[in-house]
Amino acid sequence: MPDIELLKYLESYLTENRRQRFAKVLSQRTKHFTVATEDVYQLHNTSAVIRSCDVFGIQEVNVIEEVNSKRVDREIAMGAQKWVDLNRYNSAKTCIEDLKSKGYQIVATTPHKDDCELIDFNITKKSCFVFGRETEGLSDYVLENADCFLKIPMVGFTESLNISVSAAIILQHVTSKLRTSAIDWKLTDEELITKRFDWIKKTIKNYDAIVERYNA
């Protein structure tokens, strides 16, 4: 059981503005949708996707690093990595299996014969939007194990968008529809408390010493 009194004590170390900011941001966070990137080569692309997830209220990002393994570019992510939870996987298989065990449908973001256009996407199901490598796109494993395929309609000569741009467009659309729906998309009370503790720990200096004094 979380120690609510400890939580209140720790929050007393925050400014009123920061407490209100945390509450406001958390009220818009969701795990109804999540994102996965598969072996993205350019570091700034993964970092930009993480930033978009924070901007549009996506709490978790899943990073598959089967081929390419790199740290998050803090300058591009603009601190978003502090507030978004990163789940790292060393293979697409382990990532897809884990997400499906959590009730997510796998949405491959790629043109496909059975694809769905963004405007027609059904937001009612928990969904993970998977984005692939800059040149090769998604792996055969992801395509073979996807539950549906999603594309952004394009009418120009260019056939594809940068993955970070694609992620931003998709997330803005689906989260806007989600927030005007009757779907129960917000974090649970337990998840909210967990994130309050987590964000406070990332904000307060000498967090461990403060908790030790409280327990004493």
Question: From its phi and psi, is residue 153 left (phi > 0), alpha (psi between -120 and 50) or beta?
Answer: beta
User: Does a structural domain hold residue 20?
Assistant: no
What is the predicted pLDDT for the residue at 1?
Answer: 64
Residue 124, in any domain of the structure: yes
Torsion angle of C-alpha atoms 176, 37, 196, 181, degrees rounded to 10: 20
Backbone angles phi, psi at 115, to 5 degrees: -80, 165
Q: What does pLDDT average to over the chain?
A: 89
| pTM of the predicted structure, to 2 decimals | 0.90
| Inside any domain, residue 9 | no
Q: Of residues 39 and 11, which shows the higher confidence score?
A: 11
What average pLDDT does the segment 160-186 reach? 94
- Write the CATH number for 47: 3.40.1280.10
Asked if residue 166 belongs to a domain, the reply is yes
Q: Which helix (H) or strand (E) holds 151?
A: strand 148-151
**For the chain, how many structural domains are there in total?**
1
Within-domain flag for 1:
no
Whether residue 206 lies inside any domain: the answer is: no
Residue 120 in domain: yes
Q: Which amino acid is at 189?
A: D
List pLDDT tens digits, range 77-123: 446 678 999 999 989 999 999 999 999 999 999 877 778 999 999 99
Residue 172 lies in a domain: yes
Whole domain around residue 71: which residue ranges? 28-185
